[in-house]
Structure 1
Amino acid sequence: MLTPLIKNLTAIQQRIDANGDLDFFDLDLNSLSTDPFLLYHTTTGRITYCNKAFEKSFGISGQEIRLPEFRSETLIDTEDVSLFNAKLAELGSLLPEERASLRFSCRYQAKEGAEYMCTMMRLLADNLVFIELIRPVQSGFFGVTNKTTGEMLADAEQMLDFGTWIHDRKSKHIYWTDGLKRLTEYQIDKPETAGSIDESYYRSLIIRDDAYYSQIERLREGMRQGGYEVKYNIRTHSGNIKTVLEKVKLEYDETHNIQLGMGIVKDVTDYEKALTSLSEYRMMMLESEDKFHYGLWEYDYTKDEVLWSDGMYRIFGYDPKTDRELVKVDRDIYKKHINEDDHYRIEEQSRKISNGADDYSWEFDITTADGQLRTISTYAKVLRNRQQEAVRVIGTSRDITQLKEYERGLETKIKELNKSNRELESFAYVASHDMQEPLRKISTFGQRLQNKFSEELGEDGRMYIDRMMASAESMRNLIDNLLEFSRITSNNAYEKTDLSQIVQQVCEELDMKIEENQASVDVQVLPVVECISSQMKQLFNNLVNNALKFRSPDRPLQIRIRSELLSQKEVRERHLQPYKKYAHIIVSDNGIGFEQQYADRIFQLFQRLQGKSEYPGTGMGLSISKKIVENHNGMISAESAEDQGATFHIILPYSQ
């Protein structure tokens, strides 16, 4: 604030020296500081000027203080007079070009016992000293009591990250505070920055981008109106990009030309980044609300006020752009849209909150502003004060109309599927029963023919009877397998079952068959899983029988059954439920194998890769195995090469 005075020091000094007139200040110097200050003449030892703040605080007029008989020492505490004189002498020994100033504590006694401190003494010319006084702060803030206004301004600049400047348009120089130098990352203690800075330097820091040019008109208008506020980007002395907010006050001469400019520059880089992030987040939320059909809302108990996001307006059939100012959003708006039969549920939620609930959720049907029927799902969180009184409720509401339609459609499909399955089971049972009866008669009559008329039939006749009986038996096995396939469901309860014990039971039941085929079965420890034990027994029975059937005549049959935990990577690759544990059971043999191109075909009903005569069977064993695994929410696959054996991979969840 001393800049106007500093720039006229030569004229002031010449006026004093030329005519010795101490009443030379036709300038208003009160604006230099709101604290009391003096101008002290070192040659005469007299005070040449005091501002109005000094007159008010000390009860002495400017005329009185400049009387020849008035001595300035009378204002200083007697214990500090010697200190004042010593500092005055020290100040005189400093070079003027060093902008000589001293900061120290020296007590001044004002009227009514008030005490001030001389906190800064500044040499303005060879014999003119500026003395600033400030009253100690009595509120207990240590470290501030002896600070000058300038020091407190410097502290404020550093804490709040701003700087100030004064621009003399005639000299085209700018006086910067240390705060502005710090903001622009200019070297504070650099000798060339001790005085004013050339106007062109600051202009060189400004980045002429879209943000700058968009405010040119505002700047021009401010130049005419006495001040302006603009925001732009600068590149600091160190090359960093900052966003600053500048507020400027202008003073004009009698011809309305700008004479003096004073400004404050604030670093708002972090604020702008936060604002940009907030704006991006808001746009993301708006897009998310629109895409996923939900909205956010808040109810303030203290103001009885409801706030809606754009998504809430859309859910209730309003246009957030055009209807926001037209539609009154309050508690009654819900009753306007919710079916009357559900109004009592609104009161239920209020009672829950009154009874201490911290959150709640519910579904309700509404009729939108444009007449559509929608189902809404809401979840809300209750915020309470220290007295546990509800002060706010914040929540999210989602339009689940389409989801409900999908659910209803799915329920209908499930009912139809269950009905179809029941009919299929009924049909399979009836069909198998009705087909079994003719087969039994064929077998019975065939046996009678063999027993009573064997000799009369001759060799050819007996051959035909044997083939007829074998075909009837095959047909009966096929019907039994079909009936078994149709009955594989998940209606039975799942129980934790040790698969090692299941496989052991299977091997015991097939012990004779395994021994006849000179086969070996190597079973490692298998896991305990939730399953239907009877179906698991059938699964392993089918797989072991399959290996026994398709053994190679060139080598002893070896069957291996082992297990491992399926990794989460494999869980993702197989599109299974994430973070769920799955057992990978591997059943392998060294039989005749098959070509890999038939790996899917072998699990289809009645599909056979070999002839019936060589490898008898119904072709349903692996189809039944696949249905059992899928009934347990698992997967089964096979890999093989001709004459290289076959490997079956079974994936089963540990829990259903």
Structure 2
Amino acid sequence: MTGSNKPFDKKTLHERLDVNFALRAAGLGVWEVDPTTNLVIWDDQCREMFGLAKDNLLPYEQAIQYIHPEDVEGVKKAVAWAMNSESGGDYDLTYRTIGADDGLLRWVRFSGQGYFNEAGQVIRLAGIAQDVTLQMAADQNQPHLLASFEQSPVGIAMITDNQKLIFQMANPLYSALAGRNPQELVGKPLLKAIPELAGQGFDELLKRVMRTGEPFMAQEARAEIRRGDQFDFMYVDYHVQPQRNSIGTITGVLIVTIDVTNQVLARQKVAESEAHLQLLRDTVPAMIFYLDAEQRYQSYNGVFMDWFKVNATEAIGKTVREFLDEQAYKSVRPYLDKAYGGQQTRYELHAPSRMNTDRWLSIVYTPHLAEDGKVIGVIVLSTDITQQVLARQKAQESEESLRGAIELAAMGTWEWSMSTGIITYSESLKRLFEFNQDFIEGDVVYNPILEQDRAHVEAAMGRATTPEFGGLLDEEYGIITQQTGRHRIVRAQGKMYFDASGQPRKMLGSMRDVTEERELQLALEQLVQQRTEELAAANKELASTNEELEANNEEYAAINEALEEANRLLSRSNANLQTFAYVASHDLQEPLRKIQQFGDLLKTRQASLSGDEVVYIERMQSAASRMSTLIRDLLNFSRIATQRDTNSSVALNAIVEQVLITLEMVIAETNAEIRVEPLPTIQGDDSQLTQLFQNLIGNALKFRRPSVAPLIQLTAQILEADELPPSVKPTRVAKAYYRIDVADNGVGFDEKYVDRIFQVFQRLHGKNEFAGTGIGLAICERVAVNHGGAITAHSQPGQGATFRVYLPA
């Protein structure tokens, strides 16, 4: 609809008035200075007052450069005083600017208000601005302007001769609007001076005014003017007034023209912005509403209606107290008081009962200030932060659980700042080292470390400070406690974090007291050594007995009896060793299971944990997993040594197929090729044989060469007893033996270590190169021995390895 047929908007004038539109229509701009960042933020109107073509955000010191040199000091003092809490925050100053891009001199008036926190510190200086160039010019030069046609602030021209329309006068501003200079206009007919006006009706209009004597006024008329070699358009307000001589005869017309192009274009932008703003209010996923000076709802968006289940007018005119229940109003009133006191306020609130939902809200009150600084309303923005609040609560719960898990695992955490050199640590580490202080300096951090360990710890720390080594630290060393001087063994793990330039920034890590673990390991090793020595002594005694048997057959019976007694002692000794290892390993599993269970519980909540907390959990579980693997391998070794059931018929091809199923994920990840030829069926224990082949194939997959897909081949052949290599000593005599080869193309090893690799806890590679416990091949040897056979290996570094298992046929 148009004209009188369009229904009148039923909303009140206050509701229909857009603040941004009102500011622009009044020629006002808005600005703000952020004292924290020292940045000036302003709209297009303020930017144009400084003659800038762009930059609505720039440093304060840069903005000062565009102020007239004579006014700079006064502006700085006024700003400084407005940011002083004793001033009350008032700011109102008129000064001159020199256009940064257009070079024009302007008079501007900037007025505003400083906002302070409870401590009296300024947090914001903001306000409005206006171009007052014309007013200042009028105040200073009005007598001259009225007398000077040449300096008129509007375009003025006089045209005579109602047929030819000759320019008699044209001031510079009118000439500039026409894209000419005065000499190109004065004395020339209108359409010859400005030929592009032909067809736009302007000449006919002037003739009609001269003919009828009726003045004509037009607003925002569009005109096309040639400027140089190009045509341009503009919008003007102009007034055509007939001029008469002393006897009343019309002698010409006076044309007064004002360029309103910027205002028209600005209004068009306002209309576009209004449409965008309305779209934003309707689509933003937040509740937005406006309260007037009496805390009455004046407008709100669709989210408000959805959350409160109201229509577009149900809450209009009601106060906050009337709309919400009394209890909810008591909760929000302190924040409303701050907002109506002129302070922007933020807070979190559980949804009032009227919403009838379990929701947490983040609410921001922004005061709406009049030109005199008085609060005339409050703009409210409320967003749903339920998920953030729940996540924060879960994070707090996870942090408490993490602390409990760390304490349970007897672990401590530490942080080393590279910039300050300060090392801070948890309470558990403070107790472990018997420190009195809560932190130590970096130059004394190595003092508690045993002298023999200090150098390698310093070297490891040096490597961790360089990105090429991954920034990782994992060292085990001895310490002396500060108060009692006790010797303890600790394992420190950490990760260095680097800045954008690759410089070390800080290291975060954990530490665990492993003294008891190492003492237990030492005891086990000593026990194994003791039993080995006993076995060697028994073997020596057996050899001596054999010599005596050959020398004296009469003593054969006695010597044989002594030999049997020695074997019984040896068997009992080995049985005791195996039982001890089994019981010790089994009892060690219980605390590790607790560590892993707590770790799993924490990992289910890792979405709410920080990056450092996740790293601690992963390191804790990694350490527990490695210890668990070691214990599990010890248990397997113990079971294999104590359990021998080799009376079942076992098809080795079926065993290998099951192993390949178990290892199928690793096989797929490494792109390995497994070739299995027909294998025999033997008498044995299927579980032990499964472990034998799983360890051999698993090692072939593990010890692969980088960038080379593993190739593993399993073959079998039968050998007569006299065809066995001299170094192969099966534990059961048979006429023939199966030789089963497991060959790979991996990293290989030096054959001088062939006897060592089948010993318990023996490794040829560092744990950082290949994971493992050093028990797998010992288990393989035990399985071969249990089945009356033997195992050996052949290899060259970088050329793969072949493990040969000999089993009775």
TM over 0.5: no
* Structure (1 or 2) with the larger CA radius of gyration: 1
TM tier relative to shorter chain: 0.3 to 0.5
TM-score by length of 2: 0.37
TM-score, normalization by structure 1 = 0.43
